[in-house]
Every structure is written in structure tokens, then in C-alpha cells.
Structure 1
Amino acid sequence: MDTFSRYAPFIQDYIYARGWETLRPLQTAAADVIFNSSDNLLLSASTASGKTEAAFFPILTDLAENPADSIACLYIAPLKALINDQYDRLRDICEESDIPVWRYHGDVAASQKRRMFKKPRGVLQITPESLESLLINKHADIPRLFGDLRYVVIDELHSFLRSDRGGQTFCLLERLNRLADVKPRRVGLSATIGDPAAAGRFLGAGSGHRTKIPRVKSQSQRWRLSMEHFYKQGEQAGEGSALPAQAVLAPASDQAPDLADPGLAYIFDHTRGKKCLVFTNSREECEAVCQVLRQYCENRHEPDRFMIHHGNLSAAFRQGAEAVMKDEDAKITTCATATLELGIDVGQLERAFQIEAPFTVSGFLQRMGRTGRRGNPAEMWFVMREEQPESRAMLPVLIPWSLLQGIALVELYLQERWVEPPKEHQLPYSLLYHQTMSTLMAGGEMTPAQLASRVLTLSYFRWVSQEDYKQLLRHLIKTDQIQTTENGGLIVGLAGERVTNNFKFYAVFQENEEYSVHAESEELGTIVKPPPLGEKIAIAGHVWVVEEIDRRRRQVYVHQVKGRIPAYFGDVAGDIHPRILQQMRQILEEDRIYPYLMKNAAARLNETRSLARAAGLPGRQLVNLGANTYCLFPWTGSYAFLALERFLRLKCAPRLGLKNFDSVRPYYMQFTMDVSEQDFYQILQEEAAKDFDPLDLLYPKEVPVFDKYDEYLPDDLVRKEFAYGVLDLAEMRRCVEEITRQKG
């Protein structure tokens, strides 16, 4: 029987109503796995390839033919906005069936949650944090809620592969399986999986099922890609240069105000009359860009056509922007961060802009995938901006790192289809603390052996030793995070209750202390570190004056004014993979001018290559900047770079006479030293050959709190987690070996 005939009648009607003439190969392959095996399923295909329907058509068919006695399908997504979007989509599919669809997160009304608890059936959509809340607060109800759970669908799987949030998600699934005595199959969906086999192992760990990864010939992708470079003031790199044959020159800016920032003027001009997204890498940059673009509208006496969307804005602001974007007639542009990077339906976008390079190939692909739906090619315009370097600036400052990084991201995917793999072999002690406290909160008193059997046996903790866990428990008892009872059992202690009795405990990602911002009755969003009364803040794409601060309730009251100021929402760190830096090095070595480079970008790249070659780059990694000042270009990722920094300062500095050390991660290190270049290579090689412990790369008495719950761990485990789980020593040693080949 063909796949269409195997679907439930209401699914067939849904397909007929939309005029689909054929099923896609991905949908046929997914149906075969779900209908004809008991395996997990990983669907990796481009954005808008029909992954959601491929997974849910056979799942919903099974639920219609074999009704369950509980929630039968759990759908996990990283964003509430994605859940809201898919909620409408699934309800539309299930409209003619008897399968209810529920959503469960912080913005869902309590009345809806009560209805789900009263009669749990069908599909439940949830975030990892809300699932954590369920396991803690509805512990006794878990068997009733999930006793007949058959499927777990994890959307945007790639976003869970390289963080503790992904570890938390899979720990929760294993805990749920044990509590409800079920073994649901897992279905992972993603458009950006670089190593399907590794992702399949990650998806299936602890599930009790094998994982199938259908090999389906992907549809040919058409891209419209451009990359342009701008100095924020002064003459542009392409002015007066011959136009490279491959480059396409965009129309000159003639609509933005005089003296406008050329890069933002370029965006302003090329979003007019179109529906676009402008991606930035931080919320601060997002606010700054939106402020400037709105000022340009005001200066030109045009209606405001810019909106804003990021994680610190209130739900009302975000949902308002999403609703406008779905309006096919609205020709607006939304400035956004990663909150619109994932699979939220934002209607038919005509163009995406990316200011500076993202940190990951995965991020680039996700952002590119926001456009190009309904048969149109995906379209992204990179806009690289930098200050004009001072005439006396030294070599490393003269290199346009973001331009090289952007080209590297594109080339890695075009040439190799490479995307960042999952992180493996971790020592996630911060998450271990979190799941230990969560398990005690949920289950109440238990012996140390019972606690260890529930937590340490979770697949994500397979690299953690029993001795490490004993050390953690002893420390938690000593600090009153956990208490011992008269019976020798363990319960959450008074200090532990102060941590766990807070809704922020459900999340394992780092959060800043935030204040909610209010203008009269409207909540605008949240900020970090409110300024004094009378000072200005930037949020929601506008500038506001602080009228009142309620520190006890963490609320700030403001009124709107004109102007432009920087915003601050807390630090955002970028984890850049070694392959990206290695590709950047290769770009400097090549002579190609890539076809997507516009005039200024092509000229800036040519200029950089000439500059680099004159200095001996990229073949030479240690460059003399004059006298005894040097610059080292490791060409490696963020955490190997961090390890190399520490190796130089803690292992090599006395012999090198290292001083004035400064670094711009993960691009270069600048320092003075008392030895020659040849001695540098010799000392580096000798010190790297020694058999030292990774813990030797920590400073005396240093306790490097890196993850959210590190502050509750014993110092020894914090140090061990950083040394063995964060610092990339294997890649650092490879890097040192490559550097020292240059000696002699």
C-alpha cells in the first residue's frame, strides 16, 4: 500500500484540501520508519522541506487508529514562539480528528493547563523548562499523564546538541520514561545537521531504540547570496578600485539621510517596499540598529517600517512582531537575534540581512532558511562593518576578522556541507547538580544509593565517576543544599530550597539579573543593571528616560524620548569551532574572489591578502610587530585558543619572559617576550612535550565558574569541569605542533 493510502482519512483530506499532487521523498521515508519499525527517526533536511508533516502525518495516523490512554506524543521545542507557531499548524491538521493538541509553557493560561490535566490525551507541546517544572511539581501525576506515551518529537534538534540545555532535555526524557514506565520512540527534526551519525547517537541515547536516518536525495537549493563590506566613515575599500569580474555592484545609496552609517544606509535602502529580517549577533546590536533605522525613517519623513524581536522583549512585543510578519501585505523589516533564527513561520520573507558574521555555520544556515519558501530561492545579504583603522594601527587590527569569518562559514557549507557536530565526552557537573536537586525536589526523601541510581545512570552523565558524585553529595550536605534525615535519607536543605523554589531553577542556561521595564501600563521587556533615575535606556527599538526604580520588585518605570543610546542585556559569548578558523586561514592563502562578494568586500579581501602575505601570513603564525612585540595567530577554535592562552602564560611565560599579554579571542594574541622567535618555538615544543595535567592550566586558587550552577559545586569539581570539559586540550596540542613546525 502506498504511503498516502496508509495515512488516516483526516490526513488524506488535509492533503487534498491543499492541492498537493505528490508526497515528498522525505515524507515517504519517514512514514516507512514509523509505520514499519520500532526505531527512532532522525529527519535532517533543508528548511521548508516538509519535516513537520513527514513526522506528524504517520504519528497522528497511529494515534487515530490506536487511541492512547494518556498524552501519546510529546513535542519539545527550544522556543515558546516556535511552540505557538506549530500549535496552530498541528491544530489545523487535527481539526477533523479526535486528537487534541495542547501547549504548555509560561505564557499559556492556567485554565488551558487544567483542561489538559483533567483529560490528558493527544499531543503535548512543551519547552525543556516547562517539562522540568512538570516533573518536579506534578511528579505523582506523571504516570497518569504519560503512561501511554509513544512518541517524542524534538524540533530544531541541532540547537540541543552543543549545550547543557540539550543535556537537560535528554535527562528529563529518561527520567520521564522511568517514572511513567514507557519507552517512547524519538523523532528528531533539523535543517542543519552536519554529522547525522553523531546526532543520531545523541538523539537515541537512553531511549532503548535504534535510530534510523533516512538517506533522501535533497532538493537542489537555490541561494541568492551577497556579502558587502563598509567602513563606518571615510572612503570605502572599493572606491577607486577595478571591479572584480565576479562581483555585482548594488545600486548606490540614494535614499538614506546624508552622513548616514553606510552599512545601515545600505540596509535601509534595500529593505524599502519589502518584507525582510535583519539579524544581529546580540540584543545590544539589535536595539542599536533598530534605533538608527527608525531615525532614518524620521529624517526622511517616512512612516516607521521597522520592528524588533529579541529575548528580552515582553511576550506582547514579540507576538505583535510575529503577527505583523505573517501579514502577507505588510512590507516591514524586523531587526532580530536568534529568537527568529529557528523554524517560526514568519510568512513570505523576501530577504534576510546579517550584520557581521554569525558564530556558527548552523546559525548562518538557520538564518538563511528564514527566506526562500514557496519555491523562491533563499536570499541573504551579509553586511560587514568596521571602523577605519588608524594610520598607526598594527597588523592584527588591520584584518577584517568578521569578513573572513563570514566567507569561511559560507565556504565550509558550500564546499563540504560541514556543520558543527554535537559536543561529546563532557563532564557536565553544573547540570549534574541541577538534576540531583530536581530529582530530590520531585521524589522527596531517598537514600544516597537511590539518588545515585536515578541521576548518575542517566546517559548524559556516563563520563562522571561514582567518586565524583560522592564528592558532590558530601559538599551539598556540607553547604546545606541537601540535608540528611534521621533515617539516613537525603532531602533538599534550606539553602537548596532558596535555589529550587524559584521558577528560574527550571532553566539551566545562564541568566542575568533582570528588571522588567514598564511605560505606563505596557510592559516593554527586561534589562540588566538599570541606570540611575533620569538616565536613558534603550529597549524595543526606542529610547526611554527612567522615572522610577522598584528594586524589591525589580521593575523600572520609563517614558519615551527621542535619541540614540547603547543597550545592555548581559554578555553573549561566541563558541567558534576550530574548523571555522582553519577555513579563514585557507581564505587568506587562496587567490579566489568568491562570486557573492560585492565590490567593497572583494576589494577589502584583496587588500587583506596583500597585507597578510607581506607579513608572512598565513603560513607564518608568529609575526614580529617591531622590537620585541609579537603577534601569534593560532587559527583554532574558542576553547582551544583559551587553552593555548593559559599554556603560554602558565607553562611558558617564565622561560619566554612573556609580558603585556593581550588577546582577541579566538583570532590572535599579542605580547612582548625576551627571547628570539627560534627560542619561542623551541620552548613551546619542549613544554608541550611534557606530560602535564589539564588542571595545570588553571591559575593558583582559581575557581572558574563557567556554567549556571557551578557556584554550588565543590571547588575541585569546578576546576575539573573547566580543565577537562571546557578547555580543548587535544586541539590545543595539535595547534602547538603546527606552530612549532616553523622552527629552524
Structure 2
Amino acid sequence: MSAESLNPRLRHFLANRLGWRSLRDVQKSALEAIGRGEDTLIVAPTASGKTEAALIPVFNSILSEGLPPVSMLYVSPLKALINDMHSRLELWGNHFNLEVMKWHGDVPANRKRRFIKNPSDILLITPESLEVMMINRSRAEKERILGNLRYIIVDEIHQFIEADRGVQLNSLLARLERYTGVRPQRIGLSATVGNPEEVLNWMSPSGAVVRDTAERKLQYRIFELNHHKLIEVLRRFTGKKVLIFVPSRRDAEKYYNIIRKCLDVDVFIHHSSINRDSREEAEERFRSVSAAFMVNTSTLELGIDVGDIDVVIHIRSPTSVNRFLQRTGRSGRRRGLQRTIIFQEKEALTALSVASLALSGRLEDLRIPVRPLDIYFHQILSSVFELEKPTPGDIYRGLGRAHVFSDLDADDFRHLVEFMVENDFLRVHGPYIHHGFNFEKTFGKMNFLEFYTVFPPNYEFTVKHRTKVIGSLDSFFVVTYLKVGRGFILGGEKWVVKDIDHERFIVRVKPCTRDAEIPDWSSGGAPTTFEVARHVYDILLGDFDRGLLRWLDPGSQARVQSCMEMASAEGLDHGMIPVRIGERIEINTFAGERVNALISDVFRLEHGVHGISNSAFTSSFSARLDYHDIESTLRDIPAIISEEDFLLRLEDNLDRFVKNKFIEHLPGDVAAHMRYSLLYRPDELLRLLRDNGPVEVHDFKL
């Protein structure tokens, strides 16, 4: 299918209502693939036109074939994205006399009832609401809603892939095919990722990957973070449209007020503690102007339309290439030039590593969960809810169509069902399977709301001082480091832990007044990726494009050069893991926090080390060990972590990690394996030790 063969009404709309002279290359390629009937993954930066790349062939089919409702299902990870897309699609729908319906927890019940009786042409929905629809509606209602479905668009698919919600969604896409006349064509929209073919496999057994081949050059600068420099740089962009990402809600408020005080510009603020109406008002006002600043956490990282951005600013360096490109890709839509500035605070090496990897196209692979038995547990219970008089075979075959469960065979299903029957989550009567008493006791509160609100959108703990939200911390940091009475830094302030609620993902704190050394986790985000940390080591050894340094300010350059000189003086080379033994032992892996946490815990179990403090680059602890002890233990790690009782020895950390409300109901050894694979990175640790060995150093200290 070509642009010239589009429905005349659609061509008129694109040319006259949207003002397009032609389609972009990614839109032409998507039109051809989707027009052939192929499941299609569209991979492109933010603001590249990939949403329209999916909509154009779908609307062409709706108009040319006169498809009855519901012909298109749009699934998004966020209600805010649903609301934004609903506004955008209403422009299309009103022009073509097509009705668009959004469905999530904030949509009034009377609108949902009207939709059930008279479905609209297009339905926008979150995975949670789709789950509720699958469970609570009769077969006749589901067939009326889904029976004519021809297209499913999954937006921001990269946000789903690694998460429990992604497993849930993948299962739901398979389950809803019970009610469709034909198998709907699947279309995924993703930011640029390292392994798009695997993402396509997650979505479909076969299909096409369409990539955006239009180059948007990346222009970056890296500055030391201080008040004076920040204002000086921002002043240069008055009259421009600037999107500013900050680590926490507290930082958002801080920098919002600094900018308002120091610069004569329009400035808006956007984070999850601000009520929905205020956030949407800020989005609309920022979208409608040609010059303003918007300070946000990660709430505008995804595809909410805020117009053409001139420059993206990061307060503190992103810790992954994928996230850096996702944010930076919001700029340069008009001119084809992505402009970004990183203000770093002691992480010049990380900032340079991220920029270097991004420029060379070396992105992280998304990690698809393997054998997600906790979500399998949930989906079995959900399927019993959904089906009338289901047999175990009905449920097994229905879930077996989902890619995420393809590694689970009939024995896995049988053993899990037997366990669920033993624990009275399920009961078997003749050939049929029903919910047991323990299911209703555990999940039946508030009309099964505990069951519907399935999984946290990410594994982050909310940090609260009394009733005020301070920010958030990654679960990995909370589980592996924080305990009651321990201090940390968030948003530039010192806090001490009063209480940790692992089930509700809340850390309660009070201000910390002591002068003890406190780890700085003020980014509040995810740990540094293996790829970014390892490339920092490349930089220390000079194995990178030295021309990249010219885009760093003198202070940032000096920090990088100093670390390179230190590595050179120690005679470091590829394949070495620098080990420094002094008051503390430092094993400089340059492999990310999750690898270093696992190393420290091995030493804790084997040698009783204490005072553990890990960073992206170093596993550090106190112990009376010599270099031979370190060397031999590192050599033995592959055998140690493969021992049958190793996870039991890690039980304290693993049991503190709730992950979701279903994992605690699984057999203990199964739950431990799942927690272990999410908290740590044993595969990356083994890769590190396979290719690198320890070497003792004396003056090497980052």
C-alpha cells in the first residue's frame, strides 16, 4: 500500500486538516507492512510521527472497508497517555464521524454503561481496565465489544516488556481472542531499543519491525551542576521551549521555584504528586506556547504531546541509554536536531558514557521475564473468573497462546494448580475448576479491588515525611541497602529511615541531623545499567572517541581526565577488575549496582563482611581479608551462586522484596528464584567474571 492509494477522505484530512505535504519515511514503511496484514512493531524516537504511522493504515481500513465498532483497541500504560491520545483521536474521529471512547478508572460509570450497550468505533484502555472488562462482563457483552475487533495498538510497548504489567497485558491479548471474529492485527509502538526483534516476538509470533531511518543528529553538552551555572545556561534559552527532567518531586519544586525567581520566563511544573487537573492544565498551556520551561520528574518521559521542544535538560545524569534517548528524543522534531544538556553532580563519567553509547547506537536490550509464575498464578485465577465452568484444560490452552508463558509447559501448569488447590485458592469439582475459599478471603475485599489492582507500574518505593511525599527510590536500593535507622540522601536532603512498608512500597523517614557518611542516592531512579557502567571503564582506559570531551565544561573534563590518569598510573587494562584493600575493601567491577550488590552479598555470606556500600562501579565493604581471599572468592562465585542452598542463604533480602501481591502465595523456592532474578543480575556477574579477573591496585579510588 502506498500513500497515493489511501482513501481520498483520509488523504484530504492529512493534507487539509493536519497540513501534511507528504508522509515521513517511517509512516510510508509502516503503511506498507500494516497494509500487508502483518503484525508490526514501529520503532522510532519520541515525536517522530510513529503514532500516526500506526493510525493512518488503521483509519484507511476503517474508512475503505466500513469496519463496524469496535474496530480498533488502543492500549497504553498510563491514564494520562489515554487522556492525551483521546484528545488527539477525537480530532480524527469527529472528522470521519467515528466515535472514540476512553476507559480507565477515572471515567464515569454511566459512560462505561453506555459503551457496553452501544460500543464506539475506537476504544482506548489500560491493561487493568481491560482485565476488569474480561472478568466482569458476560460472554455476550465481550463478544459485542470485541467481536469486530481488527486492530490492537500497544503504545509505549517498551514500558511493558520488563514489567509484571507487561506479562499481564501479553496474556490479556491472547485471552481476548476468545471473543474476536478474527485474530486482530497487532501494532506496537516503541522507543528505540537494543533488541527490537525480541520485542516483536513478545508481541507476535511473526511480523515486521519498521524502524525510523530519518536521522536526527544529537547535540549534547555536559556541565557541572551548580546554581550559578544552571541559571546562566537556562538564560540562553529564554524564548525557547525547554523540557527539564529532575530526579525527584522535591527537586521539581526546588528548581521550579529557582527558575521563577531568577528568570523572567513562563515556567510550569509537572509531577505525580500534583493533582490531575493541574497537570493537564500545565500540559495544555505548555503545549500551546512557543516559549516556556517545563520542570518535571519522569511524568513527561512518555508520549504525552507537549509540542515542539527545542532542548531537553537533565538535572543529574540518566543511568541508561534507553532512558536518555527516550527523554532527549522529545526535542528536535522540527529541525531534525536533538539538543540536550546534562547537569552532572559527581557523575561526569556516567554522563559521558551515556552520551557516548547513544551516539554510537549501543542501546540496552530489554529483558523479557522468564517463567513469570507469579503472574501465571494471577492469570489462572483471573481466567477462572472470566470463563463459565472452565476446565483446567480450557485455562491452560487459553494462557498457552501468550508468548510470556511459552516457557511453561503442562507439568508447570499442573504443579501450580495442584499447589493452588492444596492452599484452597482453587477447588476442583468433577471436570471443572472454581475459586476456593482462600481466594475470596485473600482478594475479596472491596469487591475484589485487591485482585483488580494487580501490579505496581514500577518497582519504586514512595518516600514520605509525615504526609508529604519526598520522592521515590528504586526497590533494589530499598531492599538491598535500607534498614530502619539507616540514612540516605534524596533530593539533596539527609533522611533517616523510620519504617519500611514493603507491601505498600512506602519508606517513612524523618530528617537526619548526624554527620555520618551517607550514601548519595539522590537520583532516586533505577540503578545504572551494566552497559553504561562497563563503558565507564572503557572511558577510563581511553577506549572512546576523545573528541566527545570537547562538549564537557572544564570541571567535567577535569573529573574525567583525572580518573583516566589514575587508571593509567595503575597500569589498568581491559580484562582487569581493580581491587583496593585499605580501611575498606573496594572491588571495582564497573558492572552496575545489581551486580555489585550480588558480589557484596556473596562476601557477606562467605566471610561475614559488614558496612556494605555499593555503587554503580564498586562493591565496597569492611572485612579482615587479604587479596588472596578476594581473588579466590571471586573465582568461586560461579560455583557459589549455583549451589542449591544459595537462595535460602539470601533469604533475608529476598523475603523483604514483595514484588507484587501474588508472589507471596507461591511455593517458597519459586518465589525466591523470581525475586533473585529481579533484584540481582547473576547473568551479568557471570559475564563479568568470565571476561575479567582481579588485579590489586593501591592508589585507584573513584
- Please report the TM-score for the alignment, with normalisation by the length of structure 2: 0.82
Q: Distance in 1 between matches of 2:404 and 2:379?
A: 11
Q: Distance in 2 between matches of 1:32 and 1:366?
A: 26
Q: Distance in 2 between matches of 1:621 and 1:459?
A: 38
CA displacement at 1:134 relative to structure 2: 1.4
Percent sequence identity is 27
Determine which of 355, 366, 387 is the counterpart of 1:410: 355
Q: Distance in 1 between matches of 2:593 and 2:228?
A: 31
- The aligned residue for residue 52 of structure 2 is 53
Say which SS state the counterpart of residue 384 (structure 2) adopts. helix
Determine which of 678, 685, 690 is the counterpart of 1:737: 690
Q: Distance in 1 between matches of 2:416 and 2:551?
A: 53
Q: Give CA-to-partner distance per residue, 1:440-485, whole Å, 9 cap, x none.
A: 2323553444433333553212223544444443444454444556
CA displacement at 1:227 relative to structure 2: 1.0
Q: Distance in 2 between matches of 1:429 and 1:725?
A: 13
Q: Distance in 2 between matches of 1:538 and 1:410?
A: 29
Q: Distance in 2 between matches of 1:214 and 1:295?
A: 43
Say which SS state the counterpart of residue 737 (structure 1) adopts. helix
Contact 1:75-1:125 within 8 A present in 2 as well:
yes
Q: Distance in 2 between matches of 1:112 and 1:267?
A: 48
Q: Distance in 2 between matches of 1:273 and 1:160?
A: 37
Q: Distance in 2 between matches of 1:602 and 1:626?
A: 28
Is 1:108 aligned with 2:107?
Answer: yes
Structure 1 pair 593–23 and aligned structure 2 pair: CA distance change class (3 A): closer
Alignment of 1:352-501 (within 5 A): 352-375=312-335, 377-385=337-345, 400=346, 402-415=347-360, 417-424=361-368, 426-443=370-387, 445-455=389-399, 458-483=402-427, 489-491=433-435, 493-498=439-444, 501=447
CA displacement at 1:154 relative to structure 2: 1.4
Q: Which consecutive segments of 4 or more residues in structure 1 shift more than 6 A?
A: 511-514, 536-539
Structure 1 pair 202–213 and aligned structure 2 pair: CA distance change class (3 A): same
Alignment of 1:147-226 (within 5 A): 147-205=147-205, 210-214=206-210, 218-226=213-221
Q: Give CA-to-partner distance per residue, 1:48-105, whole Å, 9 cap, x none.
A: 3322222211211111122334311111122222222222222223333243222212
More displaced 10-residue stretch of structure 1: 4-13 or 498-507: 498-507
Say which SS state the counterpart of residue 188 (structure 2) adopts. strand
- The aligned residue for residue 320 of structure 1 is 281
More displaced 10-residue stretch of structure 1: 576-585 or 18-27: 18-27
- The aligned residue for residue 597 of structure 1 is 552
Contact 2:127-2:169 within 8 A present in 1 as well:
yes
Contact 1:360-1:420 within 8 A present in 2 as well:
yes
CA displacement at 1:489 relative to structure 2: 2.9
Contact 1:446-1:491 within 8 A present in 2 as well:
no
Determine which of 455, 468, 476 is the counterpart of 1:509: 455
Q: Distance in 2 between matches of 1:107 and 1:691?
A: 46
Determine which of 233, 243, 247 is the counterpart of 1:277: 243
Q: Distance in 2 between matches of 1:368 and 1:118?
A: 43
Say which SS state the counterpart of residue 74 (structure 2) adopts. strand
Counterpart code for 2:154: I
Contact 1:328-1:348 within 8 A present in 2 as well:
no
Q: Distance in 2 between matches of 1:266 and 1:219?
A: 33
Contact 1:588-1:618 within 8 A present in 2 as well:
no
Structure 1 pair 487–162 and aligned structure 2 pair: CA distance change class (3 A): closer
CA displacement at 1:137 relative to structure 2: 1.9
Counterpart code for 1:600: G
Is 1:583 aligned with 2:535?
Answer: yes
Is 1:681 aligned with 2:631?
Answer: yes
Q: Distance in 2 between matches of 1:537 and 1:174?
A: 38
CA displacement at 1:679 relative to structure 2: 4.4
Q: Distance in 1 between matches of 2:72 and 2:365?
A: 27
- The aligned residue for residue 31 of structure 2 is 31
Contact 1:10-1:96 within 8 A present in 2 as well:
no
Counterpart code for 1:143: E
Say which SS state the counterpart of residue 339 (structure 1) adopts. coil
Contact 1:694-1:724 within 8 A present in 2 as well:
no
Q: Distance in 1 between matches of 2:380 and 2:597?
A: 30
Is 1:648 aligned with 2:603?
Answer: yes
CA displacement at 1:177 relative to structure 2: 0.9
Q: Give CA-to-partner distance per residue, 1:500-532, whole Å, 9 cap, x none.
A: 845464444337999xxxxxxxxxxx9765627
Q: Distance in 2 between matches of 1:488 and 1:309?
A: 50
Say which SS state the counterpart of residue 213 (structure 1) adopts. strand
CA displacement at 1:698 relative to structure 2: 4.0
Structure 1 pair 303–430 and aligned structure 2 pair: CA distance change class (3 A): farther
Say which SS state the counterpart of residue 27 (structure 1) adopts. helix
Alignment of 1:337-352 (within 5 A): 337-352=297-312
Q: Distance in 1 between matches of 2:317 and 2:466?
A: 31
Q: Give CA-to-partner distance per residue, 1:628-683, whole Å, 9 cap, x none.
A: x3200122244433433333333xx24xxx52351324321113444432443234
Structure 1 pair 683–381 and aligned structure 2 pair: CA distance change class (3 A): closer
Determine which of 607, 631, 643 is the counterpart of 1:693: 643
Unmatched segments (≥5 aa) in structure 2: 472-490, 492-503, 505-521, 698-702
Q: Distance in 1 between matches of 2:3 and 2:651?
A: 65
Q: Distance in 1 between matches of 2:650 and 2:600?
A: 16
- The aligned residue for residue 132 of structure 2 is 133
- The aligned residue for residue 223 of structure 2 is 228
Q: Distance in 1 between matches of 2:592 and 2:266?
A: 39
Aligned length: 639
Q: Distance in 1 between matches of 2:570 and 2:266?
A: 46
Structure 1 pair 297–197 and aligned structure 2 pair: CA distance change class (3 A): closer
Contact 1:355-1:383 within 8 A present in 2 as well:
yes
Q: Distance in 2 between matches of 1:693 and 1:142?
A: 49
CA displacement at 1:186 relative to structure 2: 0.8
Determine which of 592, 599, 614 is the counterpart of 1:664: 614
Structure 1 pair 684–4 and aligned structure 2 pair: CA distance change class (3 A): closer
More displaced 10-residue stretch of structure 1: 574-583 or 487-496: 487-496
Q: Distance in 2 between matches of 1:48 and 1:433?
A: 38
Determine which of 223, 238, 249 is the counterpart of 1:286: 249
Q: Distance in 1 between matches of 2:84 and 2:642?
A: 52
CA displacement at 1:273 relative to structure 2: 4.4
Q: Distance in 1 between matches of 2:198 and 2:124?
A: 26
- The aligned residue for residue 715 of structure 1 is 668
Structure 1 pair 328–692 and aligned structure 2 pair: CA distance change class (3 A): closer
CA displacement at 1:319 relative to structure 2: 0.7
Q: Distance in 1 between matches of 2:211 and 2:609?
A: 54
More displaced 10-residue stretch of structure 1: 319-328 or 64-73: 64-73
Contact 1:682-1:740 within 8 A present in 2 as well:
no
Say which SS state the counterpart of residue 551 (structure 2) adopts. coil
Contact 2:371-2:404 within 8 A present in 1 as well:
no
Counterpart code for 2:170: F
Structure 1 pair 459–496 and aligned structure 2 pair: CA distance change class (3 A): farther
Q: Distance in 2 between matches of 1:213 and 1:295?
A: 44
Counterpart code for 1:711: E
Q: Distance in 1 between matches of 2:285 and 2:658?
A: 39
Structure 1 pair 411–698 and aligned structure 2 pair: CA distance change class (3 A): farther
CA displacement at 1:204 relative to structure 2: 0.7
- The aligned residue for residue 93 of structure 2 is 94
Q: Distance in 1 between matches of 2:427 and 2:159?
A: 36
- Please report the TM-score for the alignment, with normalisation by the length of structure 1: 0.78
